[in-house]
Structure 1
Amino acid sequence: MRGRFLATTALTVVGSVLAAGPAGAAERINVKVGGYMEQFVGYADQDVPGRDVTGFDVKSDTEIFFAGSTRLDNGIEFGVNVQLEGNTESDQIDESYLTASGAFGQVIVGSENSAQYLLHVAPKDFGFGLNSGDNVEWVDFTGIGGNTGAFRGPFASTYLEAGRVNDANRLTYISPRFAGFQLGASWVPDSGEDSNATADKSVAVHDGFSLGAKYAGKLGPVAVAASVGWGTVQAADSASASDPTAYNAGLSLGWSDWTLAAAVAGSRNDAAIGDSTGWTVGLNYAPGPWKLSLAGFFGDRDGSATANAGGSGARKASFDTVQFEAGYDLGPGVALVGVLGYAELEDRSGFGTDSEAVYGVSMVRLSF
């Protein structure tokens, strides 16, 4: 069934391209440079047994985008997007993918998130992400066995992937929008990110599949957006565990300068973190250059059997955060943001420790 759906989608897209007629003298792709730079100065206060993590710190996050496209005379637009991390990391190239767009919708091939992620609706933030795991950089997770599951997992984000397979090479189709509705599907052959090596399915997850649906429209003066997504990836052939799955859903209501949004997510059969759930709600007020936001995220994970028995790894725990942000656009591409946050980490394995963290952070974001 899965292979039949993907084959049908591919044939439909190829048929649309061929039916559009031969390409003419379209211009060669000219790649432009864009991106952002964020610099943070903040203070965090947290009591963690055996560690001293209270104090001031300076952090940064920068990405440089190389993007461009060309529209052929047959109406098909091909594009390229490569995202370079501005700070030295294990994942130096964040995402790298090709797009083909037209009346048939959009096809994305390469290292990019799935349709389940791309079509997801959730509260917006304009500081560092409360709903993407970025805020964990100001919180110490030693007492609960680390922050595994916070990034692309429901322990700290509703933007997730099944098995937390992030930015692996995959094939995605996003439909055109009909009466406000849009559908998408993705297939990922393995979990290898930034790698063309042959994957050993006997020891690694493989053959993942995800679906996403989104609606965007208006009910009188209220702007409405809603989404639902589901995905799965096959467990390693040598594993006795069930296949990891993930789901998410979101709703956003906007009126004038106000937006209220909420989202929920969950994952099952993740070998590193067990089952997990998370939900978030946020209220934004954005009059002119000013932006104000109050949001919370509340995540739970079951942890791994080894960690819950006293071993290493992610323990059964909860991670609850409330965050207030105030921002001001100083000029085109220049924003100043202040963030106040409170996080509570609760160990539920009996082998860790609870802690609370308070942080205040100022940041400058440059977009170019």
Structure 2
Amino acid sequence: MKKILVASSALVAVAFAGQAQASEKISLSLGGFMEQWVGVADEDNNAEGKNKFQSDTEVHFKGATTLDNGIEVGVAIEFGIEGGDNATDEQYLFVNGGFGQVKLGSEDGAAGDMTISAPAVGPVGANDGDLTKWISTSNVPNNSWDDGDDQKITYYTPVFGGFRAGVSYTDSADAEANDQTTNGREVVSGGVEYNGDFDAVSVSVAATGESKNEGEWYNIGANVGFANFVVGASYGEKDKEFGTTTGTYDVDGFDVGVSYAMDAATVSATYAFSDYGNGEVAAADLGLAYTLGAGVTWKSSIFWFEDDADNNTNDNDGFGAVTGLALSF
């Protein structure tokens, strides 16, 4: 793998060699989002519930320049701003050309970027992991386990007839913007996707997966759009060996959902289920996203979940409702 990385670096260096410095210096643009939510939840295992106010805010800086040979070189930096714990979320450089795209830095891998899930438009989808912000259980439905923003190199092929492939290599898991972390847990992440339009029908399909710690996870998902509807589903499995340490059980899960757009509003219904070895967990949600203006969207979710454990100690179920505004800039 290291020989491949050295060879890739040499090819990129050759592509840049001899370029006149006629391109413009990179200027960064400002973007990002702020989401502020108000919600309530009722669950058997936590009478008091979690905080009724949640937020998620990021500030993004991005810029690029095009060299004389047409190759684009750019930078992306994202800062997470939540609960007074301000930190760099992602930071990487990218190189775009006829050869495809290369990314180097701290960012989601190819599997995380390319995985497809069933549609869910509200702030708390049954399949997006946000249930843990409102309920106490850690066993939420899941069928994708992306390793996160560790330092990595990623390559995406050009799009050929709607198809694109990607692969990422992480030398050491948990090395997010930290050159000194050398835990030896290499991660290989990859995926293949297809996006196409056929008259009034759009199709998106992806197969993704990762390998770490002698364990793997994989996922396959698809969304089909027609008229004002989007219908989708996905399925995934994870070995117990995948992760920071050896787990106690394998996990598999699926989701299915549908969304319908009407003028400024989009509604969705989503169901997700996971079998985690000593139990199973299911969740469902109804979501609403209503565009109030440029960059301003009102979103709401009503959700339900049930966690059935074999030993009955971790049994939990409940429901909740969340609403708020999502701002993009």
The residue number in structure 2 matching 1:295 is: 270
Match of 2:168 in 1: 186
The separation in 2 between residues aligned to 1:89 and 1:125, in whole angstroms, is 29
What is the Cα deviation at residue 89 of structure 1? 7.0
User: How far did residue 157 of structure 1 move?
Assistant: 4.6
| Residue 220 in structure 1 maps to residue 205 in structure 2 | no
For residues 129 and 67 of structure 1, what CA distance do their matches in structure 2 show?
28
CA contact (8 A) 1:83 1:96 kept: yes
The SS at the match of 1:135 is: helix
1:358 aligns with 2:319: yes
RMSD: 2.2
Partner of 2:81: 86
5+ residue gaps, structure 1: 236-242, 303-315
The equivalent position to 2:305 in structure 1, one of 343, 349, 354, is 343
SS of the residue 2:69 aligns to: coil
Cα distance change of structure 1 residues 129 and 22 upon mapping to structure 2, 3 Å threshold:
farther
Structure 2 matches for 1:226-245, cutoff 5 A?
Answer: 226-233=205-212, 235=213, 243-245=214-216
Equivalent of residue 258 in structure 2, options 267, 283, 294: 283
Q: Kindly provide the CA deviation profile for residues 141-184 of structure 1, in whole angstroms up to 9, marking residues without a partner as x.
A: 1xxxx44xx5xxxx4253x32xxx31100000011100000011
Taking the aligned partners of 2:16 and 2:218, their CA distance within structure 1 comes to 33
- 1:221-257 Cα offsets, whole Å, 9 max, x none, are 2111101112212x3xxxxxxx121101111110121
CA distance in 2 between partners of 1:327 and 1:344 (Å): 25
Say if 1:318 and 1:346, in contact at 8 Å, map to a contact too.
Answer: yes
Q: Secondary structure at the match of 1:33?
A: strand
Could you tell which deviates more after superposition, 190-199 or 52-61?
A: 52-61
1:130-279 pair list within 5 angstroms: 130=125, 131-141=127-137, 146-147=138-139, 155-158=141-144, 160-161=145-146, 165-191=147-173, 192-201=175-184, 206-233=185-212, 235=213, 243-268=214-239, 269-270=241-242, 271-272=246-247, 274-279=249-254
* Structure 1 residue 360 displacement after superposition: 0.8
Task: Tell me by how many angstroms 1:138 deviates.
Answer: 1.4
Contact 1:23/1:74 (CA < 8 Å) preserved in 2?
Answer: no
* TM-score, with length taken from structure 1: 0.81
What CA distance in whole angstroms lies between the structure 1 residues aligned with 2:221 and 2:314? 32
Q: 2:164 & 2:201 partners in 1: Cα distance?
A: 19
2:35 corresponds to which residue? Answer: 38
TM-score normalised by length of structure 2: 0.91
* Map 1:108-119 → 2, pairs under 5 A: 108-119=103-114
Aligned residues with identical type, % of pairs: 29
Aligned-partner SS, 1:118: helix
Opposite residue 128 of structure 2, the aligned amino acid is: S
Q: CA deviation at 1:273?
A: 5.2
Q: How many residues align?
A: 323
